Amino acid sequence: MAAMDLFGRRWALRVTWELRGGPLGARALLARCDGMSSSVLYQRLRELTSSGIIAASADGYELTPLGAALRDALRPLEEWAHTWAREQEHNNREPMET
């Protein structure tokens, strides 16, 4: 359950998700995570680094092989989220019954 504790922390999964396409610096991560404070970002970066999910690199932060495995595990959730979003959009367009 340690993984649930880690990824249940606000912004932890989002930071991991934003690194799915390759390394990003702290400023780029902060810009992509609209609303996150820099102090929370640096806390999450420390936690994710010490957990072996991400690593610092010359280009910023990037997923480790363990983090990449998590990215792959999240792909079905991403597909579900797209389906859910389309369903929500469709439901919001239907006229309300009176």
Tell me the two tokens of residue 23. Answer: 């390394």
Which residues are paired to 94 by β-bridges? Answer: none
- What mean pLDDT, rounded, does the chain reach? 90
CB-count exposure of residue 29 (10 Å: 0-12, 13-18, 19+):
buried
CB-count exposure of residue 85 (10 Å: 0-12, 13-18, 19+):
exposed
Distance CA 20, CA 14 (A): 10
Structure confidence by residue, pLDDT tens digits, 31-50: 999 889 999 999 999 999 99
Structure confidence by residue, pLDDT tens digits, 70-88: 888 888 988 999 999 999 9
Distance CA 48, CA 37 (A): 16
